[in-house]
Amino acid sequence: MDLLRRVAVVAVLLSLPSRGRSGGGGSDLHPVVLVPGYGSNRLYARLTAAYEPAAPRCGAREGKDEWFQLWPIDAAASEPAQAPCLAEKMSLVYDPVADDYRNVAGVVTRVPSFASTRALVGWDPLVRQLEAMGHRDGGSLFAAPYDFRYAVAPRGHPSAVGERYFARLTRLIERASRLNGGRPAVVVAHSFGCALTYQFLRARPLAWRQRFVKHAVLLAAALGGFAEGMDGLASGAGSGLPNLAPPARTRLARSQQSALWRLPTPMVFGDRPVVVTKNSTYSANNITEFLDAIGFTEGVQPYVTRVLPMWRALPAPMVPVTSMYGVGVRTPETFVYGEAGFEGTPEVVYGDGDGNMNIVSLMAAEKEWSGVEGQILKVVRLPGVSHVGFFSDLALKKVVAEIQKAVSSIEVHRKEKIFSFLNNFEFTIPVPLGW
């Protein structure tokens, strides 16, 4: 093949349309699947005849047996008189015999609009930016919301809700790929969604990951838990119900399976003091003693058998990852309880992080995966960006830029294949100086 014919081949190949078309308006982009953080999911509920409310007012509701929004809460539900009713409906029950979590009897819940970005709370700024790139909801842009009260469990332990979510996420990613010419998906996750995404990837066969997941963009991926996770179990802080009295607030926080996932992990936090009382100091290495001390003995079994095994190590997911996290924001690091013990308000010692997640946990993936053969990892630190600030103007442009790099490389890959084809021939092309 002479030089002119080779050049003609290049011209023809580069002019050909790419394989398939995105369902989001005809652009050659990889599909995007969004996995939200804890508070960005909607949760609907309905009450059945099996529901026995602690107070009569908690069972009364217009439109009996109809679905209503359980989360996010509306103004009426957040009032002090209604907060206990809401907490009761949102609570979970751990059955040590069945070794699994379930809703309170008579409360049926569902996550609405699975696969659609309409299901997400607070993601509109990012969704609009992705639509401007050519993505369309249900075409090349999808969302995977979940029941944030639940999590998953290690092999050998049942997790009905978590396993069902992973199965739905698997089908969604495969469908996104199928609708977009077989191109693998880019998964974008935030906060608790990063923890779920990481465990999801680890639970899928390597061949499946490499076939269906092109890239994972993790925003504020604290894969080692965080200090506030211990204070939340001690005081009920962070339940999302500010008008709920401490006893009920604490019961709600401790009932949820996902609460135990927030605890700092030994491999990341080690012996760092996280909770300090007059007589004891608790670190990630003595969580079981801490659970006993706060009166949450029923949490010991699920923590030891269902949580700790999943976070003893952080093996690389073996798909390309971009990890973005905020730094330089004052973040709770140690909680010091005084004479009143866990009944009192702790003094807080602050350190670095994103305001919620500690820097040591945000850097866990970077520390564990850097240098792992075959693992592509890019780390982007965002000074001054808080945990909830990823969709603000300060960070949004950088987040979108990283997603765009992940979804837009199909042309590069196509040209690489073309020039790989040309490498089968031996020829030289004179290159002008200064090219």
Q: Which residues belong to the active site?
A: 191, 354, 387
431's tokens = 């290159």
Helix runs in 19-104, H state only: 83-90
Rounded to whole angstroms, what are the CA distances from 105 to 1, 52, 56, 248, 254?
75, 8, 16, 18, 17
Task: Specify whether the CB–CB gap between 284 and 275 falls below 8 A.
Answer: no
- Reported as type and span, the H/E element at residue 403 is helix 393-407
Per the document, the length of the chain is: 435
Contacts of 134 (CB under 8 A, 6+ apart): 22, 24, 25, 26, 27, 29, 140
64's tokens = 């009996």
* 72 upstream amide cis, omega within 30 of 0: yes
Contacts of 19 (CB under 8 A, 6+ apart): 181, 182, 414
Classify residue 304 as exposed, middle or buried by CB count within 10 Å of its CB (0-12, 13-18, 19+): middle
3-state secondary structure at position 56: helix
Task: Specify whether the CB–CB gap between 68 and 51 falls below 8 A.
Answer: no
208's tokens = 């499946």
Amino acid identity, position 107: V
Task: Specify whether the CB–CB gap between 253 and 238 falls below 8 A.
Answer: yes
From CA 265, how far away is CA 261, in angstroms rounded?
Answer: 9
Contacts of 38 (CB under 8 A, 6+ apart): 148, 191, 192, 193, 258
- CB count, 10 Å around CB of 165? 22
From CA 429, how far away is CA 113, in angstroms rounded?
Answer: 56
3-state secondary structure at position 415: helix
User: 13-43 as b/e, with b when 16 or more CB fall inside 10 Å?
Assistant: eeeeeeeebbbbeebbbbbbbbbbbbbbbbb
